[in-house]
Homo-oligomer: A and B are copies of this chain.
């Protein structure tokens, strides 16, 4: 029943290597070989086009589109989602020889090799294209995203005519006509297209959200030196290309490179600076050198796990390193469209700890995003008839984007995770000042939500949360979920603790905060009382925490007896059937013990 992991790529301590292209893995490889630099991300698709399975995905952190969802007349259900929007293909390149077009789905080729070098973050790929008449052209591609100046990226191509001399036609440029796969259509308007000598640029604007991306590219390389036969501009509705005809001499390698600059926003003045390809690449590699010196984890004697842990570290830095306020960590990073590029409570729970230990500025910026989006969380609380702030389950801009109400309305863990994140940050950094300034406004509003969303049981002896979905999403709507109640309790306690330290250390600041937030001592007393009476389902005899009230009496399911064809269950089981037994999907009580492990030492 357990998923068995495929081992498709070579095991190597510093690289992900694919030898011999297998089209069955085309989409997976595009994801695995994605590059990102927080500002933008691009999937590992083939620059030269490919008529097989592909998702030409190019994303900018924070550039999103919105979509209406079927209106519901019920309060608290959202009517609009936001998703990171598939954007310009800035690697667009097509190669043609005497009318024969290169396409790895149709063409003959040999010696295919692809490598992502995690030390430098350069993705390279090479193979020999065997034309129908037997001519052979060796192609060596590479690409990278600059970590020094995140607007830049580079694309390199070295061509060697192995057994002939003759012409090659290259069309290269910028393509905004890409479709967003999840909605099946293109979502860009292109207003400005410009072409110049060995350069072109294009400005795209999203249709509903009116966000812009300005993309420009500059071509270089040895091939221009004395092999250029012809240069032509091709301008379409949402695409601009340069078409070059070059002459190749047998066995003489020729390079064709481009520097790209992408800018969120539409300020053409920012396009003037132009950087050198090799310089950009070197600078970026140096950035990675520093990161690896500080962040590497070595696992000697286990090359597979060595590769795995480095890939994780590599992805963390690629996706986010705190370069920009307002950028987020999407559930799939910048590698595809799944989960709509939205950020979840996974950010504070699983990602934030990495940055707390490796990159404090990044950690602060992640928490800052929640302060910036506090107004949206307050709006969301109001929509859910709560006081304070209810953080969204899934978001890009701060607004709730999860269209499943049972998740969006019943999961309190996004809000408590933010409080947890602040506490964890303080525990490690001892940075009390940041907590007073950035953490406190959040903590107060989350505590207010927690004090209004819960309820006292019928005889008013216990406080708890009713109608919630805990971390385990296979229990849809339960009462007194242990995790939710516990997180509520510790959030109240931590908020009160921060407030009391603030009062001690900065009486004036404290008093003005009390006034600013309209905080009364009654409200604080109430939080204290709720924390004290929070119901934590625990059996003294068995020493077991119960996941929620009644969990232990639920019908038991032996998951090893579920046929493997039934997985994933969401696709094969009636939706409600998933929720009627003791099967769990995510750790729940265990998660609580992990997060607050100091409290559960026995």
A-side residues, CB < 8 A to B, are 69-70, 72-77, 383-386, 405, 409-410, 455-459, 466-467, 476-477, 479, 549-550, 552-556, 570-577, 579-582
Contact = CB atoms under 8 A, between A and B. Distances in A.
A575 B477 contact: no
Contacts of A70: 69-70
A346 B75 CA distance: 27
A272 B553 CA distance: 69
Interface centre among A410, A467, A576, A580 (most CB of B within 10 A): A576
A555 to B, nearest CB: 3
Contact of A458 (B383, B549, B582): B582
A73 to B, nearest CB: 7
A75 B575 contact: yes
Contacts of A383: 574
A124 to B, nearest CB: 38
Chain A contact residues: helix, strand, loop or mixed: loop
A367 to B, nearest CB: 27
A575 B552 CA distance: 28
Given A70-B70, A466-B581, A385 B455 contact: no
Nearest to A581: B455
A383 B74 CA distance: 26
B73 A554 contact: no
Contact of A579 (B467, B571, B582): B467
A466 B384 contact: no
B458 A554 contact: yes
Given A77-B575, A467-B579, 19 more contacts: A70-B70, A72-B575, A74-B570, A76-B576, A383-B574, A384-B574, A384-B576, A384-B577, A385-B573, A385-B577, A386-B574, A405-B575, A409-B576, A410-B576, A455-B580, A455-B581, A457-B555, A458-B552, A467-B476
A218 B466 CA distance: 64
Contacts of A73: 570-571
A554 B410 CA distance: 17
Nearest to A479: B550
Nearest to A577: B385
Nearest to A572: B75
Nearest to A555: B455
Nearest to A410: B576
Contacts of A577: 76, 384-385
Nearest to A570: B74
A139 to B, nearest CB: 40
A577 to B, nearest CB: 5
A174 B589 CA distance: 67
11 contacts: A73-B571, A75-B573, A405-B575, A405-B576, A457-B555, A458-B556, A458-B582, A459-B553, A466-B554, A466-B580, A549-B550
Contacts of A574: 75-76, 383-386, 409
Nearest to A552: B458
Interface centre among A74, A466, A574, A579 (most CB of B within 10 A): A574
Contacts of A409: 574-576
Given A69-B70, A550-B550, A575-B76, A476 B479 contact: no
Nearest to A457: B553
Nearest to A579: B467
A469 to B, nearest CB: 10
Contacts of A467: 476, 576, 579-580
Contacts of A549: 550
B479 A477 contact: no
A296 B75 CA distance: 45
A425 to B, nearest CB: 31
